[in-house]
Amino acid sequence: MIMSGRNTFSIGRSSPIDQNLINELERQAYGISNDLETMLQNLQSQMFEASVLTSASFNVYNQTITNNGIALNEAISKTQELIEICVKLDKEFVNVQTLASNIKNIRHQVDALHSAIGK
């Protein structure tokens, strides 16, 4: 390597390289390297945040499914209770209908008795 007067280098018989140009390229490469490092750190931060949000989303989804299952089981249980009460009321209503029919018969007999007495 031979140094000449104007910050240029000459390697063997190749063309001279301007040291200022090399320095400028190194400065730009260093700036690009810093920008890339900053961008990768930002990307890493955003990916971590996205991961946290995705995990939270799955947790909310899981809790929603669990709560929905609990609510569904409670609704099924209450529906079964309602059906049992309706069946019981239906059986008891048969007795009420029989009683109502007996009361009607008694009323007709009382009316017939009043008619017979009143004549």
Domain coordinates in residue numbering, the chain: 2-118
Amino acid 44 reads: Q
pLDDT 10s digits, 45-71: 999 999 999 999 999 999 999 999 999
Lowest average pLDDT, out of 22-31, 39-48, 65-74, 107-116, goes to 107-116
CB 48 within 8 A of CB 56: no
Q: How does residue 41 score in pLDDT terms, banded at 50, 70 and 90?
A: very high
Q: What is the 3-state secondary structure (H, E, C) of the chain?
A: CEECCCCEEECCCCCCEEHHHHHHHHHHHHHHHHHHHHHHHHHHHHHHHHHHHHHHHHHHHHHHHHHHHHHHHHHHHHHHHHHHHHHHHHHHHHHHHHHHHHHHHHHHHHHHHHHHHHC
- pLDDT of 33 > 90? The answer is yes
Say whether pLDDT at 3 is over 70.
no
5: pLDDT strictly greater than 80: no
pLDDT(37) > 60:
yes
State the Cα–Cα distance between residues 9 and 22, nearest whole angstrom: 11
Q: What is the pTM of this model?
A: 0.51
- Which tokens go with 77? 């249980």
